[in-house]
Amino acid sequence: MKSLEELRAIREKMQGKVGVRKENEGQIRVIVGMATCGIASGARPVLTALSDAVQEQGLLHINVTQTGCIGLCQYEPIVEVLEPGREKVTYVKMTPEKAMEVLRMHLLDGQVVTKYTLGAAKRGIE
């Protein structure tokens, strides 16, 4: 059995070999579902609004990106927010206006906009 220090040394060595990026550890990731169902539901303007706002405001700690199918077509457009050390938040039925509210309240002020989350949609709150 290896000691804790030996295991840490192995981890550090292997992270360098597999290209794990430490520079992004503190970044907030905002992911917009851009599969066919998302695009058909209006995800492209949501992605554009978020990307433009983050760039215009110089929010270097926020990385806006896209992904394929998230698997919840009935709730598209979907935006997922992943913050280091916190649970993922899934926002559903997004519009560019709702996305700007999420940017202001959640990403800048740290307050989840509960009324737009998947949990609220499942409970019929909107």
Q: What is the pLDDT of residues 9-57, one digit of tens each?
A: 887 777 665 554 555 668 999 999 999 999 999 999 999 999 999 999 9
Q: What is the pLDDT of residues 110-125, one digit of tens each?
A: 999 999 999 887 777 5
Q: Which pLDDT score, from 0 to 100, does residue 11 have?
A: 77
Which amino acid is present at 116? Y
| pTM of the predicted model as reported, rounded to 2 decimal places | 0.78
Q: Which pLDDT score, from 0 to 100, does residue 119 have?
A: 85
Q: Report how far residue 48's alpha carbon sits from residue 117's, in angstroms, rounded to the nearest whole number.
A: 20
Q: What is the pLDDT of residues 79-121, one digit of tens each?
A: 999 999 899 999 999 999 999 999 999 999 999 999 999 988 7
Q: Which pLDDT score, from 0 to 100, does residue 5 have?
A: 86
* Domains, the chain: 22-123 (3.40.30.10)
Which residues fall within 8 angstroms of residue 46, CB to CB, at 6 or more apart? 32, 77, 79, 94, 95, 96, 99
